[in-house]
Structure 1
Amino acid sequence: MEELIIRKIKDVNELENVVEIEKSAWAMPDYRETTPVHMLKALVENGGIILGAFDKNNMIGFNMGWSVGCNESRYFYSHMTGVLEEYKYKNVGYKLKIKQREEVLKLGINLIKWTFDPLQSLNLNFNLEKLGAIGRIYKENYYGNIRDSINEGLETDRFEAEWYISSKYVTDKIEGKIKTPPAEELIRKGGYIPLDRKIKGENKESYIETPIKKEFSLDKVILISIPANISSIKNIDKETAKKWRLYTREAYKFYLSKGYIAVGYTRNKENYGYVVLIKSELEDLLKGVNLWS
């Protein structure tokens, strides 16, 4: 891939590419779940922003959103960021989000929101760790049934991501100045795991991770166990996948209701992943103080 070009798009022909990328990115079996081109056109002509990522002349990714509210309550809602399957894991999505941040700051808006699945480890790492979004609100079965290969078969619980794009916290996260320590280090400092797992299966490829411990404690730092690949588990054992959804839902909702904020994603030496929540005031967090000192 040569130098990536990211720019606003409005032309109907380019908007049609958005639909094809949606199908590829979410493995949609048909067009029932894609966004109609006429709605995309209406969006970009009435205050919305759609960015296209181009490799040479080929559009390989996009994101879309629109501004909401006014005055102090104004924010930008980022509905979708998608990349063609063959271009995933090449930093395209990240560059789209950074460009979106630039465009939204030009509008005088300091907050971008979106939703993401709090069971998908790659999404958790991308949103919380790389971008510096935070999670304070949990939405249960938010979209109902979505008929694509990623979402079908599980209730569509979502975190509401809050990305305070002008804050020192987000700047420090993007610049790599704030990184969540490994799980073992957080545990040594008093971090608590209220939800953990057991493994069954005869080899690494067939492991099915089942959450077993559910003991809630109000320590300052909380680590909630997350499966490495919930989609793989769902394909092997739907009931275990449903347990993960229900158990993590209970843990997330408990801690968020107590004033905890999801701020990071980390792993232990065995490569098991954990979402990290801390008890903090939002204003203190956004100042970019060292959370782990």
Structure 2
Amino acid sequence: MNAVDTQVLADAWKDADESAVRAGVVVRTLHPAQCPEAERVLDEIWGATVLTAPALVALEHAGSYVAAAFEGETMVGVCVGFLAQPLGEALHSHVAGVVSGTAGRGIGTAMKLHQRAWCLDRGLTRITWTYDPLVARNAAFNMRRLGAGLADYLVDFYGEMVDGVNAGQGSDRILVSWPLDVPLPSADSQPASAEGVPEVLSVGPDDLPVVAPLPAAASSVSAALPADIEGLRRRDPATAALWRVALRDTLVPLLDAGWRLVAATRDGHYLLEKP
């Protein structure tokens, strides 16, 4: 285990507590009797069984992170992670979500900051997790709010998924790595807009993806995301599926060539820089 500076640890718990107060919740780790309710909440969020109560009990018993956000006595969010390689350094956060009607209140932030403080308490200094690279709000949250950075682009990582969120849409994921023993980023630490940066992927008429060639002299480029991919999946799943291929075919060759994904802008773009 890493030795964590006592002030860093104190600041992390302060960040977590203040975030929970702003969100109007209490975040705490679960005991086995609460795991059936956590399973039910996860089922409600994803429309399918993500983790069973026995699996949650086993993870908690083995020392993994199994926690939930409560509004009064009502469980409104669940966050679960397990120890990862290198042992003693990292936690992999497998799932985190909030129930319908509570998005935008900061409950997700409260859970992640509680997870961060819990890890630092145990000498863990990094959390990894995956997210769907097409979900613009998650990209902005991960990179802008938390300061997590891209570690890898994983093509069809989970294979075909059948839950209510991901069915029929492929499972490309971005793996992010979040350093925990540094201050959270300031509000202006990443650019708010991709204005003036050449677009290699843009949103065209009828929300269709439009791919453009890489400008020969460009040292930075941007890739736009649909404003609401989840809504697009509900009303036009065929177009949403085109976005999966377009983003993959845009980002993967650039990343393989050494370009770095350096930011997610507030206006829904990834920014990439040439090495």
Q: TM-score, normalised by structure 1?
A: 0.79
Measure the CA separation in 2 of the matches of 1:95 and 1:277. Answer: 29
**1:17 aligned to 2:37?**
yes
Measure the CA separation in 1 of the matches of 2:163 and 2:86. Answer: 35
Measure the CA separation in 2 of the matches of 1:2 and 1:211. Answer: 35
Aligned match of 1:62 in 56, 63, 78?
78
Measure the CA separation in 1 of the matches of 2:221 and 2:126. Answer: 25
Within 5 Å, give how 1:109-258 maps onto structure 2: 109-167=124-182, 171-173=183-185, 175-184=186-195, 187=196, 191-199=197-205, 208-217=206-215, 219-258=218-257
**Gap change, CA 1:53 and 1:255, over 3 Å in 2:** same
Residues 55-95 of structure 1, C-alpha deviations (whole Å, 9 max, x = no match): 111111121111123468x3110001111112222100111
Measure the CA separation in 2 of the matches of 1:71 and 1:126. Answer: 27
TM-aligned CA deviation for residue 165 of structure 1? 1.6
Q: Secondary structure at the match of 1:109?
A: coil
Measure the CA separation in 2 of the matches of 1:193 and 1:267. Answer: 15
| Displaced runs of 4 or more, over 3 A | 217-220
Measure the CA separation in 2 of the matches of 1:70 and 1:274. Answer: 32
Aligned length: 253
Query: CA RMSD for the aligned pairs?
Result: 2.1
Contact 2:134–2:229 (Cα < 8 Å) also in 1: yes
Measure the CA separation in 2 of the matches of 1:59 and 1:267. Answer: 30
Measure the CA separation in 2 of the matches of 1:127 and 1:245. Answer: 19
**Gap change, CA 1:5 and 1:234, over 3 Å in 2:** closer
Measure the CA separation in 1 of the matches of 2:159 and 2:151. Answer: 21
TM-aligned CA deviation for residue 220 of structure 1? 3.3
Other-structure match for 2:17: none
Measure the CA separation in 2 of the matches of 1:71 and 1:83. Answer: 29
User: Which amino acid letter does the alignment assign opposite residue 76 of structure 1?
Assistant: L
Question: Which stretches in structure 2 are left out of the alignment for 5+ residues?
Answer: 1-21
TM-aligned CA deviation for residue 42 of structure 1? 0.6
Other-structure match for 2:67: 51
User: Which amino acid letter does the alignment assign opposite residue 9 of structure 1?
Assistant: L
Aligned match of 1:91 in 74, 84, 106?
106
Q: Secondary structure at the match of 1:163?
A: strand
Question: Which stretches in structure 1 are left out of the alignment for 5+ residues?
Answer: 200-207, 281-293
User: Which amino acid letter does the alignment assign opposite residue 48 of structure 1?
Assistant: S
Q: Secondary structure at the match of 2:201?
A: strand
Residues 110-161 of structure 1, C-alpha deviations (whole Å, 9 max, x = no match): 1110100000112112112211111131111111222223211211110001
Measure the CA separation in 1 of the matches of 2:188 and 2:235. Answer: 39
Q: Secondary structure at the match of 2:101?
A: helix
Q: TM-score, normalised by structure 2?
A: 0.84
Residues 191-250 of structure 1, C-alpha deviations (whole Å, 9 max, x = no match): 321112311xxxxxxxx3112233124733321111011222223333322221111001
Residues 32-73 of structure 1, C-alpha deviations (whole Å, 9 max, x = no match): x3311111111011120111111111111121111123468x
